[in-house]
Structure 1
Amino acid sequence: MGNIRVVIFMTIIFVFIFIFMPTVKVQAESGEVYQVKSTQLNMRTQPSGDAEIVGQLGFGSELMIFEEVNGWVKTFFNGQPVWVARQFIERNETDIQQEKSKTDKQSKIDNEERNQETERVEHNVTDFIPERKATDIQVVKPRPVQLSKDTLTTETSLDKLHIVIDAGHGGEDVGAVHHNIREKDLTLQMAQQVANHLENAGANVTLTRNNDYFLSLENRVHVAEQREADAFISLHFDAYTDTHVKGLSTYYTDRQSEKLAHTIQMYLINQTGMNDRGVKQAQFYVLRENKQKAILIELGFLTNPDDFRFIQTNDYKEKVAEAIFQGLHQHFYAH
């Protein structure tokens, strides 16, 4: 009889522990600030790689997370919950140090109370740990940011930067032609749009040409060097016999220009949605002979029907201008 009672008692204890013991999960700390550790990180409507993308975060962006589900963490975007892949974010180092400081302080308090041999076993530490207040603005970088549907745009200026925008071709050099649309006209329109956008952001901008006239390659390089430009950006459009070939590509020559080329190409693809033809090294004269940081962008194929329609729209010009602004800011200021 005694053995039966022992078995019953042990069974009750086991069931009690099984039911009430908290589930242990390895996950991101809810309400803590994390940093993006990938070049770009998609924000999705659901915790799934198949869910709709509603925006991207760039490297170093900060976000506060609130929940983790199967390797996805929840944050907020325009006041709405979105999900990002956990593997591409890491705990903010400042936040970790602050928490360690709080933990050390609490340990000191606990030790002092134990040394005083008080009977108190619960410690009220609300005076030492500030309450974390919830907010819908999850990106907390030092500069103000604006989350849009397409991307994360930093609302700041390009103050103190001098940028030279080169509209490819001109005058008797018409460039590529398709259905009476001439490359030299498209590059000038695009250059003017980009220049206006960068000037509105505070940059000092010089156009190698502001009308339809011929300008030698030597003179284009001379403009950049004379102005001591922080960056020289040459704009072009492509053409090819195979009409299926389409998309954007960015070129550079030397190491000092390589990172700028990759950064601007990334933002161009994010903004426009064009086919990504990548970043390539080339020996174009305006790049090879340029002592300044210099890149050349091929902004789409006149010979591809999809590209041809898109590149003639104001929407495309605005998106390219915004992408170049973002790329310049990321390259020169986001450290």
Structure 2
Amino acid sequence: MKIKNAWIVFAVTLLITLPLRLYQICFLSEEGTGFYTDGIRTTAMISFVLAVGAALMLIMSAMDRRSRAPYSPIRSIPAAVFGILTGVGVIVGCVISLFGIESLQSQLAYTALTVLGVFAAIVLILAGSNFAAGKNTFEKQPLLALVPSVWGCACLVAMFIRFVAVVNVAENIYDTFTVIFILLFLFHQAKLLARIDDEKSGKMIYMFGIPAALMALLTGITGTVEQIIHVTRQGLFPSGFYPANILFALYILFFLAAVSKNSVVRVSADIQEFARDPAQTAESGTEEGETEEENAEPIQESCLEYLTRTYGSDICFFNHTSSPFLKRIEKS
């Protein structure tokens, strides 16, 4: 239930912050400077709503105590399509950013970053193809799943080096937290695909994935609008990555939806298979001619074994006995 509440917070936060950001860009931005005519009022409001929304999403996701079934390959066409498109978008963004660098020293650094980004994009395209075919290549090749995370770390370091040279502005803060949340999501997604600590990774992809989708949609849409209407930008984030942010957000959303749906279907199928398994009936020691009441106790014991083995459940059944208090009342 906590995850559902986190999705509600995600929708409300996006519906509040996105219109405010678009209003800032279209009506409050000064031509030539990019500063906002209302000072920091709308910026403070947007930052406050984002901080509260992200904190609530993190807390709600962390408080979710539901047991999660081990990860198995998912098949989702939307996740596959946007996984492949995200990889293509990363390649395009890396190339555009590389050609926008003027100094030779920065060109060398961004060339290495671009090469790493291309490898990360190939892994994202591979992940998308796995979702289309219902496979999981990363279970046998776990190091491949870490490539996007390594590229995200390198991007974050490059952003910090570039941002410390200028006065901090809200746009740079938004972009920084976008990269941080996407990096954390990619890291825990890599652990999940590699089948490392399924239970914890299955929670962390929601804990960081939902805020990552929020920030990526917010920065991606507003950054793309700035380029379309030719508004002077205050932030230093590479403009070629704003469309990739939108693709990242959609990829994360469809991946989380596919994982949730696959988990529900898999648990339901496991229970039905268990209920129909003739071996369980043979182990219960039932014979023909026994009544339903005589069969009840062995079936309960088998269910308890299944729940304990699969979900670590501590549920137990107690035999019905008459209350001693009722006997005292009857005597009195």
Q: TM-score, normalised by structure 2?
A: 0.27
Structure with higher helix content = 2
Please identify the structure whose Cα radius of gyration is greater: 1
Structure with higher strand content = 1
Q: TM-score, normalised by structure 1?
A: 0.27
Larger relative contact order (Cα-Cα within 8 Å, sequence gap ≥ 6): 2
